[in-house]
Amino acid sequence: MKTRYHLQKGFTLTELAIVITLLALILGGIVVGQNMMRSAELRAVTTEIVRYSRAVHEFRDKFRALPGDFSEATTIWGAANANAAACSVTIGTGTQTCNGNGDGRIAPQNNDSAGLQYEQFRAWQHMGNAALLEGKFSGVAGPLNVQDAVTKTNVPASRLAGAGYTLISLTANETAGNAHYYPLNYMHVLQLGADLADTVPSTTLAPALTTQEAFALDAKQDDGLPASGNIIAAKNTSPYTPDCTDNDVPALARYDNEQEGYKCSLLFLLGL
């Protein structure tokens, strides 16, 4: 009588080859699909930059002021809080918002002395109120502090996985000696990057792109250099995106394409 052992059969070499081939095809299809999705996300960045840049320019042309900095916003859309000092931290209902100070700048996140960091968040709300953008934005900082950007809440999310945008201005004085930014006069920029951890308040500074992706975007739309032109990366020694570039001297900096993983966030200059 045949034992259970004698009834068992193994795979033939042909059967094993078929299984291995099928697995390879499945894995290859997954990789191809992931690459196609990532390529679509990167193409979307270009569309998003054009859309948001156009919205800022159209707002300025229509209201003779920059979004967020607009000093007559509550006259049109209502005040989130009648107390100007408290308005900056009040979400309001409907289109209710707050005025900026009208100095021609959307205050940067490190403008602590002026107490105007909320302008960068009201900017998205103002453009939404003006029907220049889709979506609703709270107009106030996130729960951690005055710099806290939260995608889909006070700043828009990108189609690029995990990334979003902030809108700020940065002068040469503000970037001189800054740990993250090259010492340049950026003026108004769209900053594309990922949210930092929920325990670390910041604008969208965290890496959302590989160095190769950042270089490709820069080379296609600008000059391919991380510290010149209209697309700028962070310093090599940035605490948020270290090793995106290979040098802290603007004239010498290049994208460090030997790095692996997400290393870069980018600034897109708006010419304002």
**264-266-272 Cα angle (round to 5):** 170
Q: What pLDDT score was predicted for residue 56?
A: 97
User: Which residues, including other chains, have CB under 8 Å from residue 1's CB and lie 6 or more apart?
Assistant: none
Torsion from C-alpha of 35, 36, 37, 39, nearest 10 degrees? 80
Q: What pLDDT score was predicted for residue 73?
A: 97
Asked if residue 131 lies in contact with residue 76, where contact means CB atoms within 8 angstroms, the answer is no
Q: What pLDDT score was predicted for residue 1?
A: 52
Q: What pLDDT score was predicted for residue 115?
A: 56
Q: What pLDDT score was predicted for residue 198?
A: 58
Per-residue confidence in pLDDT tens, the chain, 272 aa: 555 555 555 667 776 777 677 776 666 666 556 667 888 899 999 999 999 999 999 999 999 999 999 999 999 999 999 998 898 889 989 999 999 999 999 976 554 444 567 899 999 999 999 999 998 999 998 887 777 888 889 999 999 988 999 998 988 888 888 888 999 999 999 999 987 655 555 678 889 999 999 999 999 999 999 999 999 999 999 988 999 999 999 999 999 999 999 999 999 999 99
Q: And the tokens for 23?
A: 């697995």
Chain centroid to Cα 227, Å, comes to 18
Q: And the tokens for 231?
A: 């697309």
Q: What pLDDT score was predicted for residue 17?
A: 73
pLDDT in tens, 103-156: 999 976 554 444 567 899 999 999 999 999 998 999 998 887 777 888 889 999
Q: What pLDDT score was predicted for residue 161?
A: 86
Q: What pLDDT score was predicted for residue 112?
A: 46
Q: What pLDDT score was predicted for residue 195?
A: 76
Q: What pLDDT score was predicted for residue 176?
A: 86
**188-215-58 Cα angle (round to 5):** 30
Compute CA distances 241 → 2, 92, 180, 210, whole Å.
67, 35, 8, 10
Q: What pLDDT score was predicted for residue 113?
A: 42
Q: And the tokens for 60?
A: 């300025």
Task: Report pTM.
Answer: 0.84
Q: Strands, E, within the chain: which ranges?
A: 163-170, 187-194, 209-210, 231-232, 262-264, 266-269
